Amino acid sequence: HNLAGLDHADSPVSAAVMSPEAVSVEDLRGPQDAPPDRSFTISASKLITTLPTGEHTELWTFNQTVPGPELRVKEGDLVEVVLHNVDIEDGVTIHWHGLNVPNGEDGVAGLTQDAVMPGERFVYRFITNQTGTYWYHSHQQSSVQVAKGLYGTLIIEPKEGIAEDVDMTVMSHSHGTSNGSTITLGPTGVLSRRIIEPGTAVRIRLINAHNMPRIFYVSGARYRVAAIDGVNLNGPEWMEDRPLLLAAGGRYDLALVMPEHAVSVSHSLGTINETSEAVVLSATDHDMPAPGVEGTIFDPAHYGAPAPVPFDSDTKYDKAFTLVLDNRVGFYNGTMTNLQTINGYVFPDTPSLMVSEGDVVKMKFVNRGFMDHPMHLHGHHLLVLSRYGIPVQGSPWWTDSLNVAPGEVYEAAFVADNPGLWMDHCHNLEHAAAGMSMHLMYE
């Protein structure tokens, strides 16, 4: 099996080096013979588009739109997605960000499959055991391909349906675009409007598909954070004017009731005065929201009501890992660059995290650098235990994309219940490409 098209650098770990008793990636594919409940075909192809400035630019697209089509399925569905690469020369894959799929469906070029080259196809099959807001993107040369447009949203509706009458997805990315169902806020002044009857229950799915943390501002309404990274929060409280800092790769679901006046959802890299694009919800096609006010950034560590979790202070961990995130200047592929390191190592030299199936694993993240590192572990959700040693209070906070800011120390835990070879990397994809990547490996 030739694992072509490596993501960041040549990977020292492939299915071929696993011990003979170990399961191969092929054995860790999803259900292969049942008829799917939902099937989609996604074609990766180039698109030349004209920017508002009149310049032409080349986007790389799924189904000729950026973002790609919104895939909306139901909890428990067997989903089949046929990926067809039309003309992306370096090959593409699809990674289902935040979905804990069987390892062989995880879409990591060079690790769980070969990159799909022009003219080729690959069929993904998985059962959606989770609900909530996810996204998908190419995991072949991710730092280039996601920036070029190879991403889209994946919404899994719970069996009982969605409580709200209006359900909308708002993404943050470096291009501001819309495919009809997903509005992507970028850096240039696009304003889109949705007409919504006052009194309507609204769910807004915020997704950060950008490399840097993004701060979303909701002005003109009270709202609750109903879910983080696809997992519902317990007892979410109403709040107002709390900026929402979303990790790269992360998602917040907001729930609100449409008031009589307009509401805006905007985003910024910094303060509320630097917001650019906005989605305006209003009852008419002309009313404008009152300007927002700056508030204290929403903190998921102190929000909602406690609920039982599988780990507590008595938990005996089978494995405990510390990941020190830092950077240093050094040579990479022959050029002097700012290397992003984990425990001083640069991928692929970083020793893998080794676990056995069933292990209860503690992870500690320490950011000694001066940049945010949104850490993303594939195939698993982590429960955040503490920040700076202070236990998380309020609702259990499960995450797959944890923003570790400079100086921060987080502890989190997960159960190793999804065998395979998984990436654990910074979702600032440029940092991942500059070394901040490693593997989690089941022995």
Residues that bind ligand C2O (CB under 6 A): 95, 97, 137, 139, 249, 376, 378, 423, 425, 427
* Residue 210 touching Cu ion (CB under 5 A): no
The token pair that represents 195 in the structure block: 């007409």
* Residue 8 touching Cu ion (CB under 5 A): no
Instruction: Please give the residues from 149 up to 168 whose contact with Cu ion meets the rule CB under 5 A.
Output: none
Partner interacting with residue 210 (select from ligand C2O, Cu ion, none; CB below 5-8 Å by kind): none
Residue 73 to residues 40, 134, 349, 386, Cα–Cα distance (Å): 11, 11, 39, 34
**What is the nearest approach in angstroms of ligand C2O to the Cβ of residue 251?**
11
**What is the nearest approach in angstroms of Cu ion to the Cβ of residue 57?**
26
Q: Which is nearer to ligand C2O, 303 or 347 (CB)?
A: 347
**What is the nearest approach in angstroms of Cu ion to the Cβ of residue 370?**
11
**What is the nearest approach in angstroms of ligand C2O to the Cβ of residue 150?**
11
**What is the nearest approach in angstroms of ligand C2O to the Cβ of residue 55?**
29
Partner interacting with residue 376 (select from ligand C2O, Cu ion, none; CB below 5-8 Å by kind): ligand C2O
* Residue 428 touching Cu ion (CB under 5 A): yes
Nearest CA-CA partner of 158 in 75, 227, 79: 75
Strands ordered across the beta sheet of 38-50: 56-62, 38-50, 78-85, 121-127
Residue range at the interface with Cu ion (CB under 5 A); choices 133-141, 283-291, 372-380, 417-425: 372-380
Answer whether 394's CB lies under 8 Å from 301's CB: yes
Q: Which is nearer to ligand C2O, 379 or 394 (CB)?
A: 379
Partner interacting with residue 137 (select from ligand C2O, Cu ion, none; CB below 5-8 Å by kind): ligand C2O
* Residue 434 touching Cu ion (CB under 5 A): no
**Neighbouring-strand partners of residue 301:** none
Dist CA 142 CA 109 (whole Å): 10
**What is the nearest approach in angstroms of ligand C2O to the Cβ of residue 435?**
14
Partner interacting with residue 380 (select from ligand C2O, Cu ion, none; CB below 5-8 Å by kind): none
Nearest CA-CA partner of 335 in 435, 412, 263, 266: 435
Size of the site for Cu ion (CB under 5 A): 4
Residues 6+ apart with CB under 8 A from 327: 338, 339, 340, 341, 369, 370, 371
Partner interacting with residue 425 (select from ligand C2O, Cu ion, none; CB below 5-8 Å by kind): ligand C2O
**What is the nearest approach in angstroms of ligand C2O to the Cβ of residue 97?**
4
The token pair that represents 26 in the structure block: 């092929």
* Residue 376 touching Cu ion (CB under 5 A): no
Side chain identity at residue 347, one-letter code = F
* Residue 373 touching Cu ion (CB under 5 A): yes
Q: What is the dihedral of CA 262, 265, 269, 271, to 10 degrees?
A: 30
Q: Which is nearer to ligand C2O, 134 or 442 (CB)?
A: 134
370: left (phi over 0), alpha (psi -120 to 50) or beta: alpha
The H or E element that residue 96 is part of is strand 95-97
Work out the number of other CB atoms within 10 angstroms of the CB of residue 293: 11
Centroid of chain to Cα 30: 21
Q: Which is nearer to ligand C2O, 146 or 202 (CB)?
A: 146
Q: Which is nearer to Cu ion, 108 or 342 (CB)?
A: 342
Nearest CA-CA partner of 362 in 419, 302, 409: 409
Centroid of chain to Cα 115: 20
Which residues form the interface with Cu ion (CB under 5 A)? 373, 426, 428, 431
